[in-house]
Amino acid sequence: KAGQVGSARGEEVYLVGGAVRDLLLRNHNLDIDLVIEGQGIPFARELAAQFPGCRIRGHEKFGTAVILFEDNFKIDVATARHEYYARPGALPTVETSSIKRDLFRRDFTMNTLAISLNTRTIGHLIDFFGGSRDIKERIIRVLHNLAFVEDPTRILRAVRFSSRFGFAIGKHTLNLMKAAIRMKLFDKVEGKRLLNELIHMLEEKNPLSPLTLMDGYGIPQALHPALNFTPKTMELVESTIGVLSWWKYLFMKDQIDSWSVYFLALTDNLSDGDFKSVVERFSIVGDLGRHMASERILVRQALALFARGIIEKPSEIYSVLRNLSLETLLFMMAKTMREETRMAISEYIINYRYVKPLLTGKDLIRMGYEPGPIFAPILRTLKQASLDREVLTRSEAEDLVRR
């Protein structure tokens, strides 16, 4: 459809980037990125009109648009503008085709492939920079010497792709990358962008592999001097992977940010002060940053209580864990060395957090009690009794209230 719309409009349409790379690698990829030699936004509007029910969001300033389908599928559309390089006094001349220039701005040769979608040329592979050869040779190469200077987050992308695809980083590319790390180019990057890349890395299938590579290049320290991935950190990451796959197979409906569980693992060896500074460096500011910092302290306190063996009853487990987020609870499961603690937390996640008192405020009113501050402790006691299975029926609960 995209090719037909483009052809009818007299515009060239290309499928570009990760989708083409993954096609050559026979990997699954649902990201569709299109580049239009022409007018991206009007093109996207026309394409979207072919699919009832989809929405479109355009950014006039960048000439980009996203077509959002009902089932979360999306198509990103970008415009490759015809730019004219004119010397003063000279007639404007088109320097290169605009798709070539668009592809030249990209990070690695393997991401510079395009496939034509227009009716007459459909399926033609466009490879200006040797991308398909590098994919065949399983090698990551930059297009030019300034790739990492232009955007140091590409260092993290190189590591991520290298571990995801098992590709080597080319010799020259590796030298440029190491030089960029030594030159502290990360210092120039906004925290938000670094966090975004780190999240991508932590959301890979097996984050241990890119994290190990990252450590080998001294990247953690280059991101923040306090970051230090020790063998213990890596063990903690490994047990986090285990806990997160346990979580996944519970098929619970809660959405969690798995990256933040890993983030807690990677920063577990930091002092509270250093943690705060790392969180600031990654621009995890506002509520989330404060929340992470305070939960980290609560984790230590809760684990100490468990270690003393004084928390046994379900109601006690509930009261120690009730204020912690799911991410923090999963991190605690990864961190603890005690099987009993891990079991207690898992019981809390699966059962205890859903337990309700057998009676509600309305029931108490029905029983003749005046609504007031006394209700909260009564309901709390009822909930504890349910958790500890001391009352199992509503009439037992009513007896308890009367007592």
Residues that bind ligand CTP (CB under 6 A): 17-18, 31, 106-107, 111, 151, 153-154, 157, 200
Considering the complex, what minimum distance in angstroms separates the CB of residue 112 from ligand CTP? Answer: 7
- Closest to ligand CTP by CB, 114 vs 320, is 114
Considering the complex, what minimum distance in angstroms separates the CB of residue 32 from ligand CTP? Answer: 10
DSSP 3-25: HHHHHHHT-EEEEETHHHHHHHT
Q: What distance lies between CA 402 and its chain's CA centroid?
A: 51
Residue pair 155/219 in contact by the 8 Å Cβ criterion: yes
Q: What distance lies between CA 393 and its chain's CA centroid?
A: 44
Considering the complex, what minimum distance in angstroms separates the CB of residue 110 from ligand CTP? Answer: 8
User: How open is the CA angle 297-302-305, to the nearest 5 degrees?
Assistant: 130
- Closest to ligand CTP by CB, 106 vs 224, is 106
- Closest to ligand CTP by CB, 112 vs 341, is 112
- Closest to ligand CTP by CB, 194 vs 382, is 194
Considering the complex, what minimum distance in angstroms separates the CB of residue 192 from ligand CTP? Answer: 13
Considering the complex, what minimum distance in angstroms separates the CB of residue 135 from ligand CTP? Answer: 12
- Closest to ligand CTP by CB, 81 vs 291, is 81
DSSP 64-99: EEEEE-TTS-EEEEEE----EE--TTSPPEE-S-HH
Considering the complex, what minimum distance in angstroms separates the CB of residue 252 from ligand CTP? Answer: 26
The two most distant CA atoms of the chain are separated, in Å, by: 97
Q: Residue with the closest Cβ to ligand CTP?
A: 18
DSSP 8-state assignment for residue 56: E
Look up tokens 């503008």; give the residue: 81
- Closest to ligand CTP by CB, 172 vs 389, is 172
